[in-house]
Amino acid sequence: MAFTCAVITFPGSNCDRDMAVALEQISGTAPLRIWHGDADLPDRLDFIALPGGFSYGDYLRSGAMAANSPIMRSVVAAAKRGVPVLGVCNGFQVLTESGLLPGALMRNAGQTFICRTVALTVENNQSLFTGGYDAGETIHIPVAHHDGNYFADGETLDRIEGDGRVAFRYAEKVNGSRRDIAGILNAEGNVLGMMPHPERAIEPEHGTADGRRLFEGAINALVSA
C-alpha cells in the first residue's frame, strides 16, 4: 500500500522542510506540501503533520492564529475521521488551540528560549505513534521553544493521566510543564501533540536518532493496515 502524507505550512513555519525531509527519508515518498490558506486537503491521506516554527511570529497566543487558518477546518475534520495527525512544537500549540487536544502551551517557566536535547520517558507505547518504543524507555529528542510549558487544570490532567494519554514525559525539568508532560494523545489515539522535535533526531549525525522510531512505527503500522 502506498503511503500518502501531508505537511501543513503556516506563515512563519520554519521546521516544515525538516518534517518533510524526515517523512520522505523514512517512507520513501515525498509528502504533499499544503499551504495554510488552502481550504481542502486531498481526498485520501494516511498522515498529516503540523510542523514546528513560529506561525504568525507567535503573536497573540502561540498557535492561535494558525488554528484559524482555512486548512485547519479540513485538518480537524480529517482527525475526527481517524486520520493520524502529528503536531510538533508550534504544531502542538495549534492542536490545542483548534480543540483537537486539551490544555494550552504557555511561556516557559524560566521565561527563556530553550534549545537543547532533553531526556524523555515513554509513558504510553500502545499508540500508532509510540509503538516503536518500549514503555518506560528513556529517549533523547531536541527541544527548541519559548512557549512549551504545558498547562491544564487538575481535573483535565487527572483525566489525561487516567486514560493513559500522556505519550511522553520529560525525565528532567525543562520548561515548567505540569506533571512534566512533553506530549499527549487525543482520546481516540490518532492525534499526538509533542513539544520535542522527533524530525530533528532521525540520524546518528543529529546526535540522537531516537525520533526515527516514531515515524517508522507509525508509517509501518499504516502501510501494513
89 catalytic, yes or no?
yes
**The three cell numbers locating residue 45:** 491521506
- Active-site annotation holder among 36, 97, 123, 199: 199
* pLDDT at 62 exceeding the cut of 90: no
- State the Cα–Cα distance between residues 75 and 39, nearest whole angstrom: 10
In this predicted structure, what is the pLDDT of residue 1?
Answer: 61
Q: What is the mean pLDDT of the chain?
A: 96
The model's pLDDT over 185-223, given as tens digits with 9 standing for 90+, comes to: 999 999 999 999 999 999 999 999 999 999 999 999 999
Cα distances (Å, whole numbers) of residue 38 to 71, 107, 147, 211: 5, 30, 27, 29
Give yes or no for residue 60 having a pLDDT over 80: no
The pLDDT value given to residue 52: 96
Q: Which three cell numbers stand for residue 136?
A: 518506560
Least confident among 56-65, 79-88, 203-212: 56-65
With beta carbons less than 8 A apart as the criterion, state whether 123 and 166 touch: yes
Confidence of residue 180 (pLDDT cuts 50, 70, 90): very high
CATH of residue 143's domain is: 3.40.50.880
- Domain count of the fold of the chain: 1
List, for residues 90-134, the tens digit of each pLDDT value: 999 999 999 999 999 999 999 999 999 999 999 999 999 999 999
Q: Which domain holds residue 29?
A: 5-224
- Of 57 and 37, the structure prediction assigns the larger pLDDT to 37
| pLDDT(58) > 90 | no
Question: What pLDDT, in 10s, does the model give residues 147-173?
Answer: 999 999 999 999 999 999 999 999 999
- Which residue of the set 15, 36, 89, 146 is catalytic? 89
Q: Specify the pLDDT at position 43.
A: 87
Encode pLDDT of 7-27 as tens digits: 999 999 999 999 999 999 999
Whether 146 is catalytic is no
Q: What is the DSSP string of 80-111?
A: HHT--EEEETHHHHHHHHTTSSSSEEE--TTS
Distance CA(225)–CA(223), nearest Å, equals: 6
What confidence score (pLDDT) does residue 26 get? 96
What is the residue type of 156?
T
Determine how β-strand 32-35 pairs with β-strand 5-9: parallel
197 is an active site residue: yes
